[in-house]
Structure 1
């Protein structure tokens, strides 16, 4: 490492830590928690249908949690969040220009990660107009400090007809590896379905949770039919699901599937669906990240276990 690289890393870690002793304690605690979780196993992966590339099943959403500046006390937690993800085999980090400073924060922290960050970088275009879309995506490259983005998505289908040709062109050029669309509400399912049927896409990012199962009827079967990878956003139903489950006893069989919390079980419920490729719970809390990644280990839920959970929240 050069003197300049070393200085840059120390400077950013100082910003991220705020108080270095606190940062070191949190990192050690989180790493110990994470290491105890997997027992030496590897996180499960699923194949991206359009390429057969393997993708780890638990990733990270940066909405809200990464919309913070270096001076914010919450910022000092974020290097540990990423370390929890990467140390347990996760790679997917999803962001968007819609998420405030999240892209910039992500780029800052990944730029100093050692060894080199293994992140599968996903972001979005969220504007109208071809020129505006190109300018926004170029800004994403700059903020994320990368020359290649793994997945570029059209956020909430905004002006998708205009942006899709640009995405296809950039994919051919190798600037982006995969293309997709996103949405987060059932009111858009008809349009999502129409686009999936009319266009060849690599990914769909969509809302799916134990208490929000509308995609099971048509969207998920269509993705399997069309060879589209599925990323689940809002996997905790926007937070309402965990609030409803808080205090309830876990099912007696959770040890059989290596689960120790409701968040893990809620994520495993989604991963038991054959169309789902990856879940991206959002957090800026290292302990939550350490808990979430455990859903990527151990046996898959059976149909009977899934039905029991559905009945529990119905």
Structure 2
């Protein structure tokens, strides 16, 4: 799998991971739960490592912890999760719960979700980073009306990561946030990489561009992911799935050549 360096450390990060929203919010005994070990195996087999979760995703953190604890050989996961509550002490309690549920003593990336009470949480994150409990600090958001605040925080605070929605049909971050992250040395994780869910439906049935084979893409999902990771500011995309077939397809998008600017522009024209 292709990698891109995390700017703050130069650590290479595989460019496709998995998001656990919905797909991992299941319990043992549920048929959907039985497919999840293979989802992770397909990710790791392809060379991916990033597994992104959150306390807001129901049982997803606990499920992730359970599956990684039994994974053999030892899981190479780059674990990312979030804090989303008000007050420093409430944030500490929520993050301690994440450590327990994920069954780990170190979380690779802790993110302040939607910037909720970020000034209260950031000192804890910085302290825990110094102590080695977390390796990277980030923020997330998904609402364009908050992009001005996101921009201000990135300019004011040294951060390692921004997780933000970016898709072929949702490109609002291209004008200011992506260039800013590149200038400030902030890694970018793309969530909702298939937009609001309608993108693939709109493309389904249309013929793939004639050059798709040249970039080793055999589906619109792969082209949509290739569109994202070709942007020089993007570090990783995290499509969510609980289906091993889709995980394998998604992971394969980070193989082969990156799209050229001309190919990216052709995809933009196709979605209007």
Identify the TM-score tier after normalising by the shorter chain: over 0.9
Distance in 2 between residues matched to 1:126 and 1:267, nearest whole Å: 27
Distance in 2 between residues matched to 1:184 and 1:94, nearest whole Å: 15
Q: RMSD of the alignment, in Å?
A: 0.5
Structure 1: runs of 5+ lacking an equivalent: 1-42
Residue of structure 2 in register with 1:155 after alignment: 113
Q: Which of 243, 246, 250 is matched with 1:285 structurally?
A: 243
Q: Deviations over 1:102-158 (max 9, x none)?
A: 000000000000111000000000111111000000000000000000000001111
Residue of structure 2 in register with 1:306 after alignment: 264
SS of the residue corresponding to residue 273 of structure 1 reads: coil
Distance in 2 between residues matched to 1:156 and 1:72, nearest whole Å: 31
Q: CA deviation at 1:184?
A: 1.4
Q: Which of 234, 242, 248 is matched with 1:276 structurally?
A: 234
Question: 8 Å contact 1:153–1:179 — kept in the other structure?
Answer: yes
Residue of structure 2 in register with 1:36 after alignment: none
Q: Deviations over 1:162-194 (max 9, x none)?
A: 000100000000000000000112121111001
Which aligned runs of 4 or more in structure 1 are off by greater than 2 angstroms? Answer: none
Which structure 2 residues correspond to residues 248-267 of structure 1 after superposition, within 5 A?
Answer: 248-267=206-225
Distance in 1 between residues matched to 2:89 and 2:54, nearest whole Å: 18
Matched, 1:220 2:166: no
Q: Deviations over 1:64-113 (max 9, x none)?
A: 00000002110000000000000010000000000000000000000000
Aligned residue pairs, count: 272
Matched, 1:177 2:150: no
SS of the residue corresponding to residue 152 of structure 1 reads: strand
Distance in 2 between residues matched to 1:172 and 1:238, nearest whole Å: 37
Distance in 2 between residues matched to 1:158 and 1:149, nearest whole Å: 20
Residue of structure 2 in register with 1:4 after alignment: none
TM-score by length of 1: 0.86
Which structure 2 residues correspond to residues 194-209 of structure 1 after superposition, within 5 A?
Answer: 194-209=152-167
Residue of structure 2 in register with 1:57 after alignment: 15
Distance in 2 between residues matched to 1:260 and 1:100, nearest whole Å: 33
SS of the residue corresponding to residue 230 of structure 1 reads: strand
Question: 8 Å contact 1:208–1:234 — kept in the other structure?
Answer: yes
Q: Deviations over 1:46-70 (max 9, x none)?
A: 0000000000000000000000000
Which structure 2 residues correspond to residues 65-76 of structure 1 after superposition, within 5 A?
Answer: 65-76=23-34
Distance in 1 between residues matched to 2:180 and 2:138, nearest whole Å: 15
- Higher helix proportion (structure 1 or 2): 1
Q: CA deviation at 1:238?
A: 2.3
Distance in 2 between residues matched to 1:112 and 1:181, nearest whole Å: 30
Which structure 2 residues correspond to residues 124-139 of structure 1 after superposition, within 5 A?
Answer: 124-139=82-97
Distance in 2 between residues matched to 1:163 and 1:313, nearest whole Å: 39
Q: Deviations over 1:238-279 (max 9, x none)?
A: 211111111111001100000000000000000110000000
Residue of structure 2 in register with 1:18 after alignment: none
Q: Which of 102, 116, 131 is matched with 2:74 structurally?
A: 116
Structure 2: runs of 5+ lacking an equivalent: none
Q: Which of 202, 223, 231 is matched with 1:244 structurally?
A: 202
